[in-house]
Amino acid sequence: MSELSSRVLVTGASGFIGNRLCQVLLDSGYTVRAALRRPSQHLGLAAVEHVIVGDIGSDSRWDESLQHIDYVVHLAARVHVMKESLRDPLTEYREVNTAATAHLARQAAGQGVKRFIYVSSIKVHGEATAGRPFFADDMPDPQDPYGVSKAEAEQQLRDISEQVNMEVVIVRPPLVYGSGVGGNFLRLMQLVERGVPLPLASIHNARSMVSLNNMVDLLVRCLEHPGAANETFLAADGMDWSTPALLRCIAQYMGVSVRLFPLSPAFLRLAGRVSGQLGAVNRLCGSLELNINKTRELLDWVPPQQPHEAVRQAVDAYLGDKLPSAETKM
């Protein structure tokens, strides 16, 4: 529980993680200020103060947003794009994810912010694991422009923290899922619901994920825990899924049968390469394991939500969104 006077600025507050984080921070006794791109992104939380910052960049003005702020949780980013169409995506990622982050951190330090929590990405480590999980203190090895921009932002934040009196905490999550999830997890739910036959019965991989509730709980822990100061943490549920096991779990909570048949991973990867979908195939077939022992030990943190319960919540929210409203039924 925080002192009532502690004030937190959340960037990217209207997003999947940010909206939930603002709610939990309020419940935990913090005063919350949400940085939003547009007035239309109002969170619907009366106790949250809103500031409109527009599209963030290396020259954004944060003066008003940072006044009397104790902690910053920086979620806003140019997110990873599955099919990148820009000729020079790295430049675009660097402007928002690297330069804008460093710019915000310098202004935050100048305004007396105590601690800056940066939500990075597991892509800083790479795209897959083989026989050994990623550890928080492994050397970065990003494989795409998004991962590169996040790794560079992390290094700039470390450099800034050495020069000013502001602590920096870096959190690297894998896929975050839960009520209202989009992206790859949403696509899996759609495939299961439609009964699409999937050639994944022969896949024996292991992938770490983190539920929305666990991710938010960890971010709140990072705000004031003394063990978090100037450290880097991996975020995960502590249980890994094979792709077939996850699909079966989704199907169970939907009350349907999942249709899986076997094809060799080598054949699937060949098909992915020919079709230009190798990245998507690798995510379905490959492993991505995270070791969160450092997170557990330094922060005295145990993920509070069980993964199966988080999957159930995601499925319930997905199915609930598809039900007709009361007005439609009448």
Digit-coded pLDDT (tens) for 257-268? 999 999 888 888
Residue 262 per-residue DSSP state: -
Among residues 30, 71, 146, 177, the one annotated as catalytic is 146
Token digits for 58?
């290396």
Active-site residue 177, yes or no?
A: no
pLDDT tens, residue by residue, 19-43: 999 999 999 999 999 999 887 766 7
Let me know if residue 212 belongs to a domain.
Answer: no
Q: Flag whether 28 is in a domain.
A: yes
Give the other-Cβ count within 10 Å of 287's Cβ: 20
Decide: helix, strand or coil at residue 178. coil
Which tokens in the block code for residue 83?
């099919």
pTM beyond 0.85: the answer is yes
Residue 193 domain flag:
no
Q: Which residues pair with 208 in a beta bridge?
A: 240
Residue 206's CB is within 10 A of a number of other CB atoms, namely 16
Domain limits for position 40: 7-172
Q: For the CA atoms of the chain, what is the radius of gyration?
A: 20
As given in the structure block, the two tokens for residue 128 are 């897959």
Give the count of domains, the chain.
Answer: 1
Residue 84's pLDDT is: 54
Is 92 part of a structural domain of the chain? yes
Answer yes or no: is pLDDT of 2 > 50: no
205 Cβ neighbours under 8 A, 6+ residues apart: 242, 243, 285, 286, 287
Helix, strand, coil abundance in the chain, percent, nearest 5: 45, 15, 40
Residues with Cβ within 8 Å of 96's Cβ and at least 6 positions away in sequence, in order, are 56, 57, 76, 77, 78, 149
Residues 211, 308: contact at Cβ < 8 Å?
no
Which band of pLDDT confidence, cut at 50, 70 and 90, is reported for residue 294?
very high
Q: Under a CB-based contact definition with an 8 Å cutoff, are residues 289 and 134 in contact?
A: yes
| Span 148-170, pLDDT tens digits | 999 999 999 999 999 998 999 99
Residue 20 is predicted with a pLDDT of 95
Question: To the nearest whole number, what is the mean pLDDT of the chain?
Answer: 91
CATH number of the domain bearing residue 159: 3.40.50.720
Strand order in the sheet with 115-119: 49-52, 31-36, 7-11, 71-74, 115-119, 167-172, 232-234
Is 289 among the domain residues? Answer: no
Judged by average pLDDT, the poorest of 3-7, 120-124, 138-142, 219-223 is 3-7
At 328 the pLDDT is: 40
Query: Is there a domain that residue 62 lies in?
Result: yes
Question: What separation in angstroms does the CA of 56 have from each of 201, 262, 292, 315?
Answer: 44, 46, 31, 33
* Residue 164 identity (one-letter amino acid): V
Q: 323 versus 297: which is more confidently predicted?
A: 297
- Whether 277 is in a domain gets the answer no
Residue-by-residue DSSP string for 183-240? HHHHHHHHHHHHT--BS-TT----EEEEEHHHHHHHHHHHHH-GGGTT-EEE---S-E
Is residue 61, in this structure, part of any structural domain at all?
yes
pLDDT band at 279 (very low <50, low <70, confident <90, very high): confident
Predicted local distance difference test score (pLDDT) of residue 327: 45
